[in-house]
């Protein structure tokens, strides 16, 4: 693993954004023991107790991937994290809360923040930021739904070992995507779908400010979630349009 380890950075994603990507090898990992201004999805901040968790970014160069298929990268990375975290929690099922939060039960164990650069019609560089709760056992009240590996398994883990396992697993899924791209990646589509939290279960959601009951039935090729409401209507929605009320 090409690993650059820092004691403290504002944000590993932000650090990567400043690098000249011609000089950075694919699969380079930038990891920080502490982030002073970690970035989460939708402009939120990412909380992680220094030295207890993993906060890192991987540099990928998915030049094979057309921009309109960028959601496939989200699927590959999410599945890689499920593969990497799963062995630490043998008695639980690790799931993906659409689009790319990693959940154990009704709690979030890992967040992913991907930022893509485009060249022509395809992606050129992806910075894949990953925040994985490992040994932290107390979280501030404002963090929504957190859980760590230790809280579930009762065991302290070596951050170095978990990092290697998780990075290897994400790399494997990415290579599966890259090498299968021209022959078909239906298998990965299916696996992603089967791992979705609340798939096939009627649950409450807020959709355009209205509370509804609906069942997740699929994800389309743009990564939009497909649900059937309790009155039988099919809705297709993007992240901003839907809030999960069941977690
Ligand atoms: C989310 O909100 O679920 C996404 C969280 C992503 C956090 C990681 S920690 C490493 C990388 N650097 C950041 O500033 N954010 C991501």
CA 4 to ligand 1 center in whole angstroms = 17
Collapsing DSSP to helix, strand or coil, 143 comes out as coil
Mutate to test the pocket of ligand 1, among 17, 33, 38 (most ligand atoms within 8 A of CB): 38
Q: What is the reported pTM?
A: 0.97
Q: pLDDT, tens digit, for every residue of 69-105?
A: 999 999 999 999 999 999 999 999 999 999 999 999 9
CA 100 to ligand 1: nearest atom? 3
pLDDT at residue 221, rounded to an integer: 87
CA 195 to ligand 1 center in whole angstroms = 21
pLDDT at residue 51, rounded to an integer: 96
CA 35 to ligand 1: nearest atom? 14
pLDDT at residue 61, rounded to an integer: 98
CA 9 to ligand 1 center in whole angstroms = 13
C-beta of residue 119 within 8 angstroms of C-beta of residue 22: no
CA 208 to ligand 1 center in whole angstroms = 26
Which residues contact ligand 1 via a Cβ below 6 A? 11-13, 35, 38-41, 44, 46, 55-57, 101, 111-113, 129-131
pLDDT at residue 96, rounded to an integer: 98
Instruction: Retrieve residue 209's tokens.
Output: 């400010």
CA 48 to ligand 1: nearest atom? 9
Residue nearest to atom 11 of ligand 1 (CA): 129
pLDDT at residue 237, rounded to an integer: 96
CA 183 to ligand 1 center in whole angstroms = 32
Please provide the size of the chain in residues.
247
Mutate to test the pocket of ligand 1, among 49, 129, 144, 170 (most ligand atoms within 8 A of CB): 129
What stretches of the chain show up as alpha helix (H) in DSSP?
12-17, 71-85, 149-153, 159-180, 186-194
Enumerate residue ranges in the chain where pLDDT < 70: none
Name the percent of the chain in helix, strand, coil, to the closest 5.
30, 35, 35
- Quick one: CA torsion of 210, 213, 214, 215, rounded to 10 degrees? 150
pLDDT at residue 1, rounded to an integer: 86
pLDDT at residue 184, rounded to an integer: 86
């Amino acid at each position: 693993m090409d690993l650059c380890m820092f004691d403290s950075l504002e944000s590993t994603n932000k650090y990567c954004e400043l690098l000249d990507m011609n000089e950075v090898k694919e699969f380079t990992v930038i990891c920080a023991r502490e982030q002073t201004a970690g970035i989460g999805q939708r402009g939120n901040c990412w909380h992680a107790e220094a030295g207890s968790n993993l906060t890192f970014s991987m540099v990928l160069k998915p030049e094979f991937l057309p921009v309109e298929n960028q959601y496939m990268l989200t699927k590959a990375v999410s599945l890689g994290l499920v593969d990497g975290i799963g062995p630490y929690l043998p008695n639980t099922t690790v799931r993906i809360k659409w689009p790319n939060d990693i959940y154990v039960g009704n709690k979030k164990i890992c967040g992913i923040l991907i930022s893509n650069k485009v060249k022509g019609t395809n992606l050129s560089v992806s910075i894949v930021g990953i925040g994985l709760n490992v040994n932290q056992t107390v979280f501030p009240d404002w963090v929504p739904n957190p859980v760590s590996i230790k809280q579930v398994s009762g065991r302290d883990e070596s951050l170095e070992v978990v990092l290697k396992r998780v990075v290897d697993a994400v790399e494997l899924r990415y290579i599966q995507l890259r090498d299968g791209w021209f022959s078909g990646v239906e298998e990965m589509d299916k696996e992603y779908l089967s791992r979705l939290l609340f798939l096939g279960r009627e649950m409450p959601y807020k959709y355009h400010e209205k509370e509804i009951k609906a069942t997740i039935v699929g994800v389309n090729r743009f990564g939009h979630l497909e649900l059937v409401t309790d009155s039988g209507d099919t809705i297709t929605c993007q992240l901003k349009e839907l809030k999960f009320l069941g977690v």
